[in-house]
Chain A
Amino acid sequence: MHLEYFKLIDRIVDLNVAERTIVVDAQVPKENTIFEGHFPGHPIMPGVLLIEAMAQASGWLLIAMNKFERMPFLAAVKEAKMRSFVSPGDLLKVEAGIVHEGSGFAMTSAKVSVGGELRCNATITFGVVAFPHPDLRKHMDAEAKRIGFPLQAVAND
């Protein structure tokens, strides 16, 4: 997790395009300036960042389903529930699945767990559009490599 660059996802553990599901790992850093302010004496991962982690995991699933031809952008977050605290050093398992794939938009259901215990979940809506800039497409290719995106998952179906 590189919070300064808003990179929440570390590794794709499982990507199943046919089942339209994804599982990713995200390691919360032990130390970060965010925890100095949020909160002194009781450092916890901000809920908005947990939502972002769920959005990014969902986003990679949508990128896979669209074979890197379209980019999902966060459009709406529903029923986001922060069920218990996430602490510095926690290893997050983020899981997402498709609720609906519409024309130019998609909805996912995502959750975060730590050690098998559910910490938060949400239903997330994305606008799914053509890449607005070639640099972004290149960036996503590089990011895919960084997080171990299994290219074979989108190559032959």
Chain B
Amino acid sequence: MGRRAPLPCASGIYLKYIKGLAMSSTFDQVATIIAETCDIPRDTITPESHAIDDLGIDSLDFLDIAFAIDKAFGIKLPLEKWTQEVNDGKATTEQYFVLKNLSARIDELVAAKGASA
């Protein structure tokens, strides 16, 4: 028997796939939720998109997104706290509503929930 050819999964594609699952699965889920909830084409939603400024989602529509995120991740997005921080000038909307940041906040909430369970 000759030397076995490398399996396709040993290629960079596989590594990229694994990395993608670990790094951006939260974003992917959030983007899918936003696309389905607000009828926004999925391919226009990127990690850099600002939910309010770029995607035009208003606060009422965001409640539907928050509902779907809360359910999907088993958390409660602290929208009131975030709003207060933005109103008080202690935070910017970018910290919470740019989707890569929102995804990071979700990961933190999921981790905090796991730690306290």
Contact = CB atoms under 8 A, between A and B. Distances in A.
Interface of A: 75-76, 100-105, 107, 125
A103 to B, nearest CB: 4
B42 interface: no
B77 A102 contact: yes
Interface size bracket, B side: 10 to 19
Given A75-B60, A75-B63, A76-B60, A105 B79 contact: yes
Nearest to A126: B63
Nearest to B66: A102
A103 B78 contact: yes
B81 A100 contact: no
B93 to A, nearest CB: 16
Nearest to A78: B64
A107 B66 contact: no
Consensus secondary structure, chain A interface: strand
Contacts of B83: 104
Nearest to A129: B80
A103 B81 contact: yes
Nearest to A107: B67
B60 A102 contact: no
A104 B82 CA distance: 11
A30 B56 CA distance: 47
Contacts of A102: 63, 66-67, 70, 76-77, 79
Contacts of A104: 79-80, 83
